[in-house]
Chain A
Amino acid sequence: MWTLARKILLHDRVKFVVAAAGVSISVLLVLVQIGLYLGFMGNASTLIDHAKADLWVTASGNEQFDFATPMDERLYYRVAATPGVEHAERMLLSFGQFKLQSGGTQGVQVVGIEKGARLLRPWNLQHGSLERLDDVDGIVVDQTEFAKLQIKEVGARREISGVRSKVVGLTKGIRSFTTSPFVFANLDSARAFSRLGPNDLTYILIKVQPGADVRAVKARISAMPHLDAFTKAEMSERTRSYWSKRTGVGVGFFTTAIMGIIVGLVVVGQILYNGTLEHIKEYGTLKAMGAENAAIVRVIMYQALISAGVGFVFGGALALGAQAGMKALNLSVSLTPTLLIGTAVLTVVMCALAALLSVLKVLRLDPAMVFKG
């Protein structure tokens, strides 16, 4: 039956190409839009996702990762002494003004980490050395932010919030959601870059003892005054959902994706229905000869599934092309396996829905029509 369905579908090449193109465009839009969304959301929580911390501790009442209010270093010692904590690390995330060669400034997100930090350090280092972060003015920036920061290489010297800095390392692919590039520095420099006090920090990263219950440690820390603790997964999710909701970025991307699905539905539905009408006498003949509805419906559904398959392959290939193209524009389209599988399922469902009108037509078809002029 597959062969027959394929032959019937491919008989009118032009229509088939239009149907496949309709599905491809849907698939492309869904993959690129949701991929972009996932890419942005990946950026939003990239520091959290790459850190090896089991728990993130912050001053209580902080709603948002990137805009955390600082807390005093004394809290760090109490947290580090909490039963179940194997290792605690201070971290600072704040904003600074990066002086550009052209004379203006560019806001940056300063990431301050302890000397010899183990739980969070720049990853994907391409040039330079992480050890040099211990230097008073050492900073590590990402290659993909070169244009924004107007620098080209290790060794570049720039002021941040009036304090001297020097690029000692370059990473690849560490990008923020806020559009302010990340600048890694040691804790002391970071405090200076963001004009905070010498005892200020925004996060305490925690590795719990092997075998210790993360939830229990979290509960102990959360019970302390002025502190909130979140597991890595919670922190990551909080950050993504904050940006997604606050910026409406999710709505925008998903709306476009849904429009893509509607376009696919209409195009495929229209073409399948058209083909069904064109063959209505033949389908009626099969019914007259005793074909069960299910058998005819299968021929139509197979046509829908073939359109889905061809459209998914082409749309997927286009999405990979778009991914490569957008990479050049510094945009990351995150085509995760889950997204690909989800889109494949969605495509099949979409095409099956598109076939519904045709199916109804066939189910309602009165076989007595075969003898009508």
Chain B
Amino acid sequence: MEMETNMNAIVEARVVSKLYGAGETAVTALSEASLAVRPGELLLIEGPSGSGKTTLLSILGLLLRPTSGQLLIEGQDAARLPEKALPRLRARTFGFIFQGFNLFPALDARDNVALAIRMKDPKVRSSVARAEAERLLTMVGLGERMHHVPGDLSGGQKQRVAIARALGGDPPLILGDEPTAALDSKTALAVMDLLRGLTREGRGVVVVTHDHRLRKYADRVVRVDDGHVEELRADALAA
């Protein structure tokens, strides 16, 4: 396992472990994992069910505190920051996308994105948030569907709305937990194309998946097995 120190990484986990529970019933979900995500790369996290992928992603996204180890963001160890400092750091660092989209069914595409923008920064005026939402939706190819509610959109379109929402506030890193799992394969690949495109502007993208076919979009692939994280070498990928 390499122990690079990456000065320009957006987020870097250093020998991070996570135990759920305590005593006899404790589960080691992650053991001494190290991983850095750099600007402009698409990183794929693979692994069997229950191996610790979501746990790793949650720790990278500051949703979960590691039991031990460091999490470097903006040059500080975010694992030691007080709870109340986390929301703002998350807001300016991450956008999240999910298997289940998690869009407000009552709000149309534009409002869903605008709401997130204003939640991240309450100082943004609603007219500004709406204009920004329209720009982002156009960017993900939904310029014609701004006023559709999630119920009137296809799965792929919903995931595009969620991606536009994740891009609100212009975070440097997008984290997705199986964002293509609920989509048919053609749509899944189109969504990956879109995520791939985001890295061209220097954004980092991390995608957890079971689907080996997504490897072709990845700059790097990391495999999690029983809590152990290991980067796959290029020759292994080709196989």
Please list the residues of chain A having a beta carbon within 8 angstroms of any beta carbon in chain B: 1, 3-4, 7-8, 10-11, 279, 281-282, 284-292, 295-296, 367-368, 370-372
The residue of chain A having its C-beta at the shortest distance from the C-beta of B103 within the complex is: A282
Nearest CB on A from B167, distance (A): 11
A-B contact count (CB 8 A): 82
Query: What's the minimum C-beta distance from A293 to chain B, rounded to whole angstroms?
Result: 8
Q: Which of B58, B105, B119 contacts A295 (CB 8 A)?
A: B119
Asked if B197 CB lies within 8 Å of chain A CBs, one says no
Query: Which residues from A are CB-within-8-Å of B96?
Result: 285, 288-289, 370
Set of chain B residues within 8 Å of A1, measured between Cβ atoms: 118, 126
Residues of A contacting B120 in the complex (Cβ-Cβ under 8 angstroms): 289-291
**Interface pairs (19), CB distance under 8 Å:** A1-B118, A4-B107, A8-B107, A285-B96, A286-B116, A287-B87, A288-B63, A289-B90, A289-B95, A289-B116, A289-B165, A290-B91, A290-B94, A291-B119, A292-B87, A371-B54, A371-B57, A371-B63, A371-B98
Nearest B residue (CB) for A285: B102
Q: Are B91 and A291 in contact (CB under 8 A)?
A: yes
Cα distance A295–B120 in the bound complex, in angstroms? 9
Chain A CB within 8 A of B135 CB: no
Whole-angstrom distance between the Cβ of A11 and the nearest chain B Cβ: 3
The listed residue (B58, B104, B118) touching A282 by CB distance below 8 A is B104
Binding site secondary structure of chain A = helix
Q: Is B213 an interface residue (CB 8 A)?
A: no
Contacts of A281 in B (CB 8 A): 100, 102
> B177: nearest residue on chain A (CB-CB)?
A371
In the complex, what's the smallest C-beta–C-beta distance from B182 to chain A, in angstroms?
12
Decide if A11 touches B106 in the complex (CB within 8 Å).
yes
Q: Cβ of B118: which chain A residues have Cβ within 8 Å of it?
A: 1, 295
* Known contacts A11-B105, A285-B98; A4/B63 CB under 8 A: no
**Nearest CB on B from A313, distance (A):** 22
CB-defined contacts of B116 to chain A, threshold 8 Å: 286, 289, 291
The count of residues in chain B whose C-beta lies closer than 8 Å to any C-beta of chain A is: 35
- Cβ-neighbour of A288 out of B89, B90, B103, B115 (below 8 A): B90
Q: Measured between alpha carbons, how far is A370 from B98 in the docked complex, in Å?
A: 8
Give 10 closest A-B pairs by Cβ, nearest first.
A290-B91, A11-B106, A291-B119, A290-B90, A368-B63, A285-B102, A290-B87, A8-B106, A371-B177, A371-B54
Question: Which chain B residue has the least Cβ–Cβ distance from A282?
Answer: B104
CB-CB < 8 A to B169: which residues of A? 290
- The interface residues of chain B lying within 8 Å CB-to-CB of A290 are 87-92, 94, 119-120, 169
Instruction: Tell whether, in the assembled complex, residue A10 and residue B122 are in contact, meaning their CB atoms are under 8 Å apart.
Output: no
Q: Which residue on A lies nearest to B178, using beta carbons?
A: A371
Cβ proximity bits B57-97 to A, threshold 8 Å, 1 near / 0 not: 11001011000000000000000000000011111101110
Most buried by B among A1, A281, A285, A290: A290
A residues less than 8 Å from B92 (CB atoms): 290
Minimal beta-carbon separation of A244 from chain B (angstroms) = 48
B111 contacts chain A at the CB level, 8 A cutoff: yes
Q: Are A292 and B94 in contact (CB under 8 A)?
A: no
Considering the chains assembled together, what is the distance between the CA atoms of A371 and B98 in angstroms?
7
Complex contact B111–A7 (CB within 8 A): yes
Q: Which residues of A contact B64 (CB under 8 A)?
A: 368
